[in-house]
Amino acid sequence: MTSETQPPRNDWLQSYWMPFTPNKAFKASPRIYESAEGFYYKTSDGRKILDSFSGLWCCNLGHRHPKISEAIKAQVDELDYSNAFNFGHPKVFELANVIAGQFPGDLDHVFFVNSGSEAADTALKIAIAYQRLRGEGTRTRLIGRVNGYHGVGFGGISVGGMVNNRKFFGSLLPGVDHLSFPYDSQRQSFTRGEPDADVEPYMQQLEEIIALHDASTIAAVIVEPFAGSGGVFIPPKNYLKRLREVTKKHGILLIVDEVISGFGRMAAPNAATHYGVEPDIVTVAKAINNGSVPMGAAIVRKQIYDVFMEEMPAGVEFFHGYTYSGHPLAAAASLAAQEVFRTEGVYENTQALAPYFEEGVHSLKDEPNVIDIRNVGLAAGVTVAAKDGAPGARGGEVFLKTYEEGVAVRANGDHLAVAPILTMGRAEIDMTIEALRKGLRAAA
Q: What is the contact surface with ligand PMP in residues (CB under 6 A)?
A: 115-117, 120, 149-151, 224, 228-229, 257, 259-260, 285
- Compute the least distance from the CB of residue 277 to ligand PMP, in Å: 16
Q: Which is nearer to ligand PMP, 222 or 370 (CB)?
A: 222
Could you tell me how far CA 178 lies from the centroid of its own chain?
A: 19
CB nearer to ligand PMP: give 115 or 402.
115
Contact 212, 204 (CB under 8 A): no
- Nearest residue to ligand PMP by CB is 116
- Identify whether the C-beta of residue 58 lies closer than 8 Å to the C-beta of residue 286: yes
Find the shortest distance in angstroms from Cβ 222 to ligand PMP.
Answer: 10
How many separate helices (H) and strands (E) can be counted in the chain? 16, 15
Minimum CB distance to ligand PMP smaller for 150 or for 437: 150
- Comparing CB distances to ligand PMP, the nearer of 149 and 308 is 149
CB of 269 to ligand PMP, least distance (A): 17
The neighbour count for residue 308, using CB atoms within 10 Å, is 18
Query: Is residue 188 a contact partner of residue 171, using CB atoms and an 8 Å limit?
Result: no
Q: Which of 287, 277, 307 is nearest to 99 (CA)?
A: 287
Shorter beta-carbon distance to ligand PMP: residue 223 or 431: 223
3-class SS at 373? strand
Q: Compare residues 54 and 369 and give the one whose CB is closer to ligand PMP.
A: 54
Q: Give yes or no for a contact between 64 and 36, defined as CB atoms under 8 angstroms apart.
A: yes
Compare residues 203 and 285 and give the one whose CB is closer to ligand PMP. 285
Residue 232, burial from CB neighbour count under 10 angstroms (0-12, 13-18, 19+):
buried
CA neighbor of 79 nearest in space, from 326, 338, 339, 290: 326
Contacts of 413 (CB under 8 A, 6+ apart): 231, 386, 391, 392, 395
How many Cβ atoms are within 10 Å of 282's Cβ, its own excluded?
31
Q: C-beta of 310: minimal distance to ligand PMP in Å? A: 30
